[in-house]
Structure 1
């Protein structure tokens, strides 16, 4: 697979799936701009990157101010939060709103800032990281599940809008992956999610990044609007 010379933007690049995607895209020859809320988390690979940007993706103006934002050929969106881990009846409105702001509006902001340039050049790849929770729903994670369902639907909508432009947009629905973000999830919730995975283990960030790498490459040429499961057999549809 190759994406050699392509310019890539990765959000949530400081850790977990985002960091693994940065490494994968670098290995495929991309010039990578890494975006995270905490720039210090990317210090160990800064010398390999085109740019390191400390940006809150919920701030549309800050996103548009990223250097060469309209020159990106590839966008991988991994920035996200788990949100309230409580039953729906106990979910605070501000927690619900914050989860949607990061997980959905953040993706909207970045796509609005990057897709125009891709369309003009006639080539682009967008991969939005959703979750198996967006397809099946996880109890006590109503905000997270609903927001990730929105990511899947948003990606499908955009993909159909751009289907004849050379810009392909797909989403990925991982089951529980061994990431720092999952440290915020209650142990009983992690145990529940793990019990749903026939392979009986957590996914690795490198496994997700391998799928992202293909979706961002020139080898992926006839797939858009899809939601790819990487769930150890939890979902097979």
Structure 2
């Protein structure tokens, strides 16, 4: 994080800053509300208990890479991010899955498909991944009362800038909603590398619950990639065009 300053909004209403350890509980509470209408888990009947348990597993692991939007000290939005080299909490996640009240199978299976597509396209090794190579824009949420102010777009822009400053080669995000897909696909140097069509995808036994999402403005799940360095810059960092 050295040297990077996240600037606040010019009107002073919103301050953007890095998350610190003392923010974890506030971020979990804020994002439990913000993620309540995330389309794929909501379609499966995810509960607030589910969402809180999910965030408790992951938020503490993303302190050093995540950006918050705050107003008068209250967290109103967050872009949770991590170095893709950091492993997920597999044992704890098994317990989370066993205790779920909603059906998360379609959401998690589609996310897994997108991650596999990224791994294949970018040569991600199956076990130990190199650090500071791929920056994962893991999940973004904005409190419903604060939406429509461009907060999600700024959270993404700040996070991409941080990843570039820290020397990552690319950012990627698996977007599940129409709004976040719009933000990522309109970011400079971005591309959609894989797409799961909610209207037709049959990758999970209960995928039928996703069929209504296109009529709600959510066409599908997209693997969006932002390439951070041109060929000449990658070369100076000890890589080449072929490394990507």
Fold conserved between structures, TM > 0.5 = no
Larger radius of gyration between Structure 1 and Structure 2: 2
| TM-score w.r.t. length of structure 2 | 0.28
